[in-house]
Structure 1
Amino acid sequence: MTAPLVASDDVVLDDDEVAEPEDGVDDVLLPGATFDAHAVLASIDTMAAQRPVAAQIVALTHADDAGAKDLSRLLAADAALTGRVLKLANSAYYGLRGRVSSLQFAVTVVGFATVRSMATVALTSTDQMTLPAEHWTTSTHLALACSTLAPRMGHRAADALCMGLLAQLGAALLHHHDPQGYGELTAAHRSAVDRREAEVERYGVHAVELTAAAMRQWGFPSTMVAPLDQLHDPTSVDGGLLRGAFEVTERLVVKGHRPVPIHRLTCDRVREVDVVPVLTQVRTEAADLRRALEG
């Protein structure tokens, strides 16, 4: 992913617009890992040949350096990803259903960060990488919950949507690394908190930590990584955004979930009365978002 990015219609993005991946994973990123973290994080890179356009988009680091026109021409070389971007732009989330027919307009509507996040997700959807059970259900609910809660937590809704969409990336990587073991782990631990504890016991790190390490390695902005890094810091408002989003998600998708008071998770930024419309919006839009993302 360090070579010049060449796409359809001779679109070329210069080397200085490409993220330079680290040669290895510094132990500081995942100090407790009991597996080859570099090999796991590199597993998506090895699949780049299957989705070269997606890999090139992931490699881009500066949204301002790639205009909507150039990005749409690059994107057009991947029909499946193009379809997903167009479907997302026409989804209820953006309120433009049926009005976005141009790929360039679709890129403008959803934004560079979202296209890049979708490209990253696309690399986990190859034939070589199976996804955990309920991956899309959790990811779509989490993305919408993050986006809906974002204004109360001091974040941009668009960035929060991307962060929520990518939060399950670490789970996909662990599942690819250890499909049988991780499948058993997720089946036994439905609660996100319990599952993270089981992940730490088995792998030395939990899936959200692995996601954060991957996003740092690929040059995602620190504002998108901070909520992942600070998930377990009860004083962190950034971490509170993701904690609150996990709670909203579990209230909607995990049977028998015992609600945790939302104010405890969000540093008192969100109250129970506030979460009612959030639950309604996420419940209403999740299926539409899932259809767009799955293609």
Structure 2
Amino acid sequence: MTVTPFPGYSGPAVPMFDIESILASIDTMAAQRPVAAQIVSVANGEDTSAKELSRILASDVALASRVMKLANSAYFGMRGRVSSLQFAVTVVGFTTVRTMATVALTDLDDESRLPEDFWLVTTSLALAASTLAPRFGERPQDALCIGLLAQMGAALLHHNDPDGYAEIVAAEPTYTGRRAAESRRYGLNSLRLTAVALEQWGFPASMTARLNHVDDYHSIEGGLLRAAFEIASRLTTEDYDTVPIVRLTCGQLREDDVVPVLDQVRADADELRRAMLGDD
């Protein structure tokens, strides 16, 4: 079935887009990754301990290995010193474990099913957000997680409409332009879809609110992710026309603040990608 995305639209009809069916398909994926789904469910529980979470995590060898690899990465400064899964859970934090489980159950660890350069951009987003987080009063680990999950909606749109989404990516080199095209085609953009999914799974409003304010340039709440997208764009988009960082961040950052962040992301992005995907 096809529909036009909004009243007055004169372009070609596009595939029916139903958020509920997309989220239901994620639940189907979750049934195939029961350990990851259980971690997403219990990780924010008040009674969940690192011991209990590591016990559940141990049942998924691939996911447990990724958590261990991330805990021993340069990002956490514990290279080679994390030898137990329970300690790894403590090092990376419950929100990070939950984020990694979400990546697994939504198939974001299968690069063959994702938009081109998905993880190159995602790791750049995550590291930029984490590095800049203190400037916005945020915890670096929380910012890392929202950066890792921000593009989940884009992956879901790609899964649902691969040919149409490929057209958007080809036509819109910038993420701002791409989100506008997503809204025209689907009635919502990928960041909003990510927020809807995370809200359904009980992620805190403090994380999802950042996603909903990215395109409001007057909102400081979206400033951190806007800055992270700008840094990711400068690193990954050919012939990118930069946007002044001071405008994107409501005056929180200057161009001099961006240079060390670019260097940090270049240095650590590949290791973070390998940890998230379990690559050697």
Q: Same fold (TM over 0.5)?
A: yes
Q: In structure 2, what is the equivalent of residue 18 of structure 1?
A: none
The alpha carbon displacement at 1:34 in A equals 6.0
Q: In structure 2, what is the equivalent of residue 7 of structure 1?
A: none
The alpha carbon displacement at 1:60 in A equals 2.3
Letter in 1 for 2:36: A
| Structure 1 ranges of 4+ moved more than 3 A | none
Letter in 1 for 2:204: P
Q: Which runs of 5+ in 2 are unaligned?
A: 1-14
Provide the rounded CA distance (Å) in 1 between the counterparts of 2:180 and 2:16.
14
Q: In structure 1, what is the equivalent of residue 53 of structure 2?
A: 71
Q: In structure 1, what is the equivalent of residue 18 of structure 2?
A: 36
Q: Out of 175, 185, 197, which is 1:214 matched to?
A: 197
Q: Which runs of 5+ in 1 are unaligned?
A: 1-32
Q: In structure 2, what is the equivalent of residue 116 of structure 1?
A: 98
The alpha carbon displacement at 1:61 in A equals 5.6
Provide the rounded CA distance (Å) in 2 between the counterparts of 1:194 and 1:226.
21
Q: Out of 81, 89, 92, which is 2:74 matched to?
A: 92
Q: In structure 1, what is the equivalent of residue 3 of structure 2?
A: none
Per-residue CA deviation, residues 238-279 of structure 1 (Å, 9 max, x unaligned), is 201110000000011111111111010011111101111111
C-alpha RMSD of the superposition: 1.7
Q: In structure 1, what is the equivalent of residue 38 of structure 2?
A: 56
- Does residue 227 (structure 1) correspond to residue 210 (structure 2)? The answer is yes
Provide the rounded CA distance (Å) in 2 between the counterparts of 1:212 and 1:59.
17
Letter in 1 for 2:104: A
SS at match of 1:115: helix
- Does residue 291 (structure 1) correspond to residue 274 (structure 2)? The answer is yes
1:41/1:173 contact within 8 Å kept: no
- Does residue 155 (structure 1) correspond to residue 170 (structure 2)? The answer is no
Q: How does 1:149-228 map to 2 (within 5 A)?
A: 149-228=132-211
SS at match of 2:29: coil
Q: In structure 2, what is the equivalent of residue 252 of structure 1?
A: 235
Letter in 1 for 2:142: D
Q: In structure 2, what is the equivalent of residue 281 of structure 1?
A: 264
Higher helix share: 2
Per-residue CA deviation, residues 171-196 of structure 1 (Å, 9 max, x unaligned), is 11101111121122212222101111
SS at match of 1:259: coil
SS at match of 1:98: coil
The alpha carbon displacement at 1:63 in A equals 4.8
Q: In structure 1, what is the equivalent of residue 126 of structure 2?
A: 143
Task: Name the count of aligned residue pairs.
Answer: 263
TM-score by length of structure 2 reads 0.90
1:61/1:220 contact within 8 Å kept: no
The alpha carbon displacement at 1:284 in A equals 0.6
Letter in 2 for 1:89: A
Q: Out of 215, 231, 252, which is 1:269 matched to?
A: 252
- Matched-pair identity in %: 62
Provide the rounded CA distance (Å) in 2 between the counterparts of 1:64 and 1:89.
23
